[in-house]
Amino acid sequence: MSDKGHFSGRVKMKGGQELITKYAYEREFKSESEFARFLHELEPTRSVHGWRGAILRWKKAGNHITYTVWNGRKKNPSYMKSVPSEFKQNYKVDVPPIMKSYYDKEADLYLTFMEQPNSMIAIKGDKHREMKKEYSDSGSRLTVEQMSIRFEFPILWMRDYIRAHQWKHPMSPHTDEILLEKTEEELVIDYLEVKRNAVLQKSKRAHFASMAKDANKWRHLDDTFYKEFKDALNKTNMAPKKVKPIKMDEASPYAIVISPTDLHFGSGSWIDETGNKYDTEMASERVLERTENLIQRMPGRPEQIFLATGSDWFHVDNEEGTTTKGTPQDMSVSPTQIFMDGCALAREHIELLRGVCPIEIFFMRGNHDRHLSLALMMYLGAVYENVDDVVVKLDPKLRQYAVWGNNLIGFTHGDGVKGMDLPGLMAKEEWKNWGNCQHKIWFHGHLHHQQVIEKGGAMVIQLPSLAGNDRWHYRKGYILARPGISAHLLDKELGVVGNLFAPVIDNA
């Protein structure tokens, strides 16, 4: 009481149990909060919060309230627009005050008290069981966010729902009711089926995630690196649109497949240590001179040249002078010079072949130069963008395909898949062309020696290397193969009809 004799605070109401008892059984409310607001309107002396506390004390004394389960749905609140239609149903049940969930077996409904809407929601049994399965490790092990999207639940509701039912990822995918109804044999069968479906779903998600990741990488590479390459090339650096043809005899229609695979440009070896000398100057001479030798041996002018490049064209893949995986290498010059001089050499080699006939260029990304071969592809794609007789296939995949006449041709470096497995991959990846073409031919490198095998309806041709032996090859004894470059002749209807080989004359 103040000095003037007036009360300084609010009147604190006591009791009120009679009002609670009266209206708890005469009326229906969606929640305790709605009941408390109703009582506050009748008796405003006690606040809404005070009435709610009184209701809780009344319930603890052993009383209970019959609530209308309407899923906490207020009249058109904005955050409820995505709630499923089944939440709109009215369902009445006496729920003990200490329970957060209740299963009505007769109606096959799961009733759950939700903290977010501060009310009960009703979920059909089939949906509840599917939700539990998908959240479990045995199912799809979805996250709360994924569950929210999958079952069209507000994410805060989904979190409350999972917490109310005490779900954990390692739990059984079955509800208690199912466990009691089914035999052990039936549960084992159900469990295996759930695991099988979960594995399939995870496999699909991993597959599409990988595809999306690869597509994003390629788009990023195309939007940045490739465009910068093209912008950096001015008119003086661009290739001439035409070159002077080399004089050659006319021949029956055929194509040539040439690949200076495993050049290892930039590799260095000391003759006193390895028995042979090899550096960038010698690599350039071998590519150009041996290609000229092949041209002179051709029976006449071909219609088409398929040039497969990359494939360990560069000896290293980064500024540290290592392979893509990080293995240090012996180098004859710096990594920067290897890249710049290697790009210039690839262009000079193409200009030489342009004098023969039109060229289509494919890239076989090697295990030494997985990334720099992509850079070489971008560089050559920019250089020859407006040239009619040179087509550069801009494709980052490790296995490339071409169709010419009755021939399906495949190109790959050869480090990731064994040669004997390549025909099966071609049949899977190019199934339409596999059926339309009579002759299937694979070309690959990596092993530095020549070999031809036939397997599964395809010819697998392993190409030689022009490179000299570095210290690693010398230590391992991989020095018996004869270095050189080959050209394979393809008839449009008959497939491979010949092979030309230009060996390195002096391996010293």
Q: Is 431 among the domain residues? A: no
Residues 12-45 have pLDDT tens digits of 566 678 888 878 766 777 777 788 888 888 888 8
The tally of CA atoms less than 13 A away on the side-chain side of residue 84 is 16
pTM of the model: 0.55
Q: Is the pLDDT of residue 225 over 90?
A: no
Residue, of 228 and 253, whose pLDDT is higher: 253
Q: Do 128 and 50 reside in the same domain of the chain? A: no
Mean pLDDT over residues 289-299, rounded?
Answer: 94
Task: Find the range with the poorest average confidence among 36-45, 224-233, 376-385.
Answer: 224-233
CA distance 152 to 146: 10
Q: Kindly state whether residue 210 falls inside one of the protein's structural domains.
A: no
Inside any domain, residue 53: yes
Do 114 and 26 fall within a single domain? no
Please return the burial class of 20, using the count of CB atoms within 10 Å of its CB with bins 0-12, 13-18 and 19+: buried
77 assigned to some structural domain? no
Task: Quote the tokens at residue 202.
Answer: 């995870």
Structure tokens belonging to residue 223: 């939007």
Residue 76 has pLDDT above 50, yes or no: no
Residue 392 pLDDT grade (very low, low, confident, very high; cuts 50, 70, 90): very high
Confidence check: pLDDT of 69 > 90 = no
In a domain, 415, yes or no: no
Three-state SS string over 338-368 comes to: HHHHHHHHHHHHHHHHHCCCCEEEEEECCCC
Helix or strand run (H / E) with residue 404: strand 400-404
Q: pLDDT confidence of 59, banded at 50, 70, 90?
A: confident
Which pair of structure tokens corresponds to residue 166? 């005490």
149: how many CB neighbours lie within 10 A of its CB?
A: 13
Cβ neighbours of residue 126 closer than 8 Å, sequence gap 6 or more: 108
Inter-axis angle of helices 335-354 and 372-383, nearest 10: 40
Residue 189: band (very low, low, confident or very high) from pLDDT cuts 50, 70, 90: low
Residues 6+ positions from 116 with CB-CB distance below 8 Å:
72, 154, 156, 157, 159, 160
- Contact criterion met (CB below 8 Å) for 40 and 46: yes
Phi, psi values for residue 430, rounded to 5° = -125, 50
As a whole number, mean pLDDT of residues 287-294 equals: 95
Q: Domain containing 134: what range?
A: 84-181
pLDDT > 90 fraction of the chain, expressed in percent and rounded: 43
Say if residue 59 is in the same domain as residue 89.
Answer: no
Give yes or no for residue 425 having a pLDDT over 70.
yes
Residue 78's pLDDT is 36
Q: Tell whether 154 and 259 lie within a shared domain.
A: no
Q: Mean pLDDT for the chain?
A: 82
Greatest mean pLDDT among 89-93, 96-100, 341-345 lies in 341-345
The HSE-up count of residue 112 (CA atoms within 13 Å, CB side) is 22
Domain count, the chain: 3
Tell me: pLDDT of 256 over 90.
yes
Residue 441 lies in a domain: no
Q: Are residues 357 and 481 in the same domain?
A: yes
Asked whether residue 473 is assigned to any structural domain, the reply reads yes
Q: What is the mean pLDDT of residues 362-381?
A: 93
